[in-house]
Chain A
Amino acid sequence: MITGLLLGLCTGFIMHRSDYCLAGMFRDLFLFRSVLKLRTLLLLVICSMVLFETARQLGLLPLYPFPLFGSPSLANVIGGFLFGVGMVLAGGCVVGTLYKMGAGSVPSAVAFIGLLAGSALYAEIHPWWSAVIAQTTFQKGKVTIPQLFNSDPLPLVLLTAVAGGIYFLRVYRKGGWVRPLYTEGALQPWKAAILLAIIGLLSAIVIGMPVGITTAYAKMGGYLESFLFPGHFQQLAYFKALPLNYCHPLTGVPLVGGPGPNMDAIAVIQLPLIGGIIVGGACSALLLREFRIYVKIPLRQYLSAIIGGMIMGLASRMAPACNIWHLFGGLPILATQSLLFLVGLLPGAWLGSIILSQVIIRAEAS
């Protein structure tokens, strides 16, 4: 629990200082044709890949591939697509929303409420969606690309790492890593990428899984719903499932949990992480004396935030899981689910960018 809190604190702090906004990375690619930030995500993925593989070779990752990763299905692409639309409209992904909210952003707080609502809403379509997943799942029992080819991950990881390394070196020669930063206490995004990769590794070793937080969103959403509509809540099968069920071999701690509003392993792992990211963002802003709250914001931006949050919350259950889980945790182990998530995420972010630029520009043009 303390581990989660500490990892969350560091994550929130680092992300706030470096504006390591994943929604922004994909959005700017389409909106401004800028790969500056997306490049640092690639750095993070390759670093994590090397770190995870090294840890695996050293026997530190007995639960490889990580728990909760399953066989790929069409749901990953569709979930990724909706997630892409949602995160761009919300102005931040599931983690970005947290650190920005912590730093005093009102639109992000609104997006957070949307996230909870969207996550709870998923329970309504869960039976139907499970059937869709079941029907479109392929390569049953194969979680990663190397497994698909019945090979060890090492050759593919090495190949990707070398290719990535060559690209990174070329970027470095052109001076493409450092950007002028005007904000006080700013952290270059490439440094943030490396730090976040290390945080991901720590999480994988200590908790047994990479960083993930969205099941806890469903949990919080479910908790609220059980208060507001207790009768209806009782009928929702989704909140009774326990998808997480394993024993961490290194610590011997059994971890069982699900989206239901109980204090189970999901709560113990993810809630401190969420709290940590919010407080981490707040600490960073307070230390810079930049913590301020403004509510006078165009109504359309509030609407965009709440709708984006809801779509993103819903999508994070459909995918399943969020961009952090898939991009920071899944891609580095070449999980097929995560690759499909990315395939969906790109057009989703593109569509979100178009909607957003239309809405914002038109709203202000009067």
Chain B
Amino acid sequence: MTATVPRTIELDIRGQICPSTLLVALREMNNNIDELNSGCARLFIKTDNRDCINTIPEAAGNMGFQVDVCKTEAAYTILIFK
């Protein structure tokens, strides 16, 4: 892990329903896989679809990432990082 602050890629998919939510998240992960893997970037997802709040962390976990899920006033947030 380098000392530099990792870049945060934001993804707002509020209002979208499954499976678009998971598909979009997976595509975003794959598009930035090198940066995410090296720890240079983190993926920050905002969503209100309950289904994907459980499936995105599962998928990210399978890809070897760490996941933080938080419930905020506006939505659930999922942070995916190495």
Evaluate whether A105 and B15 lie within 8 angstroms (CB atoms) in the complex, with A294-B48, A361-B27 already known.
yes
Query: With A180-B54, A292-B48 as given contacts, are A24 and B18 in contact (CB-CB < 8 Å)?
Result: yes
A92, A106, A360: the one contacting B20 at CB < 8 Å is: A360
Knowing A16-B50, A182-B57 touch, does A356 contact B17 (C-beta < 8 A)? no
Q: Say how far B81's CB is from chain A's closest CB, in angstroms.
A: 16
Taking each of A100, A184, A301, A360, which has the highest tally of chain B beta carbons within 10 Å of its own beta carbon? Answer: A360
B24 lies within 8 A of A183 (CB): no
Please tell me if the beta carbons of A108 and B54 are within 8 angstroms of each other in the complex: no
Whether A107 touches B27, Cβ cut-off 8 Å, given contacts A21-B51, A182-B53, is no
- Residues 291-333 (chain A) with a chain B CB within 8 angstroms: 292-298, 301
The digit string for B1-23, where 1 denotes a CB below 8 A from any CB of A, is: 00000000000001111111011
Q: Provide the residues of chain A in CB contact with B53, threshold 8 Å.
A: 182-183
**Taking the complex as formed, is B76 at the interface, i.e. its CB lies under 8 A from any CB of chain A?**
yes
Question: Which residues of B from 42 to 82 have beta carbons under 8 Å from A?
Answer: 48-51, 53-55, 57-59, 69, 71, 74-76
Closest chain B CB from A135 CB (angstroms):
38
A76 to chain B, nearest CB (A): 26
Contact of B19 among A16, A28, A179, A290 (CB under 8 A): A28
Q: Identify whether the interface residues of A are mostly helix, strand, loop, or mixed.
A: loop
B47, chain A: closest CB distance, angstroms: 10
B19 and A301 form a contact (CB under 8 A): no
Task: Decide: A297 and B15 in contact? CB cutoff 8 A.
Answer: yes
CA distance A85 to B27 in the complex (A): 23
Closest Cβ of chain B: how far from A16's Cβ, in Å?
7
* Cross-chain contact B24 with A364 (CB below 8 angstroms): yes
Among A91, A106, A107, A186, the residue within 8 A (CB) of B54 is A186
Q: Are A183 and B15 in contact (CB under 8 A)?
A: no
Q: Mark A10-49, 1 if CB is under 8 A from B, else 0.
A: 0000001001010010011001100000000000000000
Query: A54 on the interface (CB 8 Å rule)?
Result: no
Range class of the B interface residue count: 20 to 34
Q: In the complex, are the beta carbons of B15 and A24 less than 8 A apart?
A: no
Q: Judging by beta carbons under 8 Å apart, are A295 and B19 in contact?
A: no
Please, how many angstroms separate the alpha-carbon atoms of A361 and B20 in the complex?
A: 8
CB atoms of A357 and B23 under 8 A apart = yes
Is B16 a contact of A107 with CB atoms below 8 Å?
A: yes
User: B48: which of A91, A290, A365 is its contact (CB, 8 Å)?
Assistant: A290
Chain A residue nearest to B23 (CB atoms) is: A360
- The residue in chain B whose Cβ has the minimal distance to the Cβ of A107 is B17
Return chain A residues, CB-CB under 8 Å to B59: 32
Q: A301's closest neighbor in chain B, by CB?
A: B20
Please name all residues of chain A whose beta carbon is closer than 8 Å to the beta carbon of B71 when the two chains form the complex.
184
Give A182 to B18 CA distance when docked, in angstroms. 16
Cα distance, A92 to B16, chains bound together (Å):
12
Instruction: Pick from B16, B17, B20 the residue with the most CB of A within 10 Å.
Output: B17
In the assembled complex, the Cα of A365 lies from the Cα of B17 at a distance in Å of 18
A58 at the interface (CB under 8 A from B): no
Which chain A residue shows the least CB distance to B52?
A19
A181 adjacent to chain B (CB < 8 Å):
yes
Given contacts A179-B54, A183-B53, A292-B48, are A91 and B18 in contact (CB under 8 A)?
yes
Q: Which residues of B contact A92 (CB under 8 A)?
A: 17
Contact B15 A19 (CB under 8 A): no
A-B contact sample (14 more), CB < 8 A, given A108-B17, A360-B23: A24-B18, A28-B55, A31-B19, A92-B17, A105-B49, A179-B58, A182-B69, A183-B53, A183-B54, A290-B48, A294-B14, A298-B20, A301-B16, A357-B19
Interface residues of A (CB under 8 A from B): 16, 19, 21, 24, 27-28, 31-32, 91-92, 100, 105-108, 179-184, 186, 290, 292-298, 301, 356-357, 360-361, 364-365
A sample of 12 inter-chain contacts (CB < 8 A) reads A19-B50, A28-B55, A91-B17, A106-B15, A179-B54, A182-B53, A182-B76, A298-B20, A356-B20, A357-B23, A360-B20, A365-B27
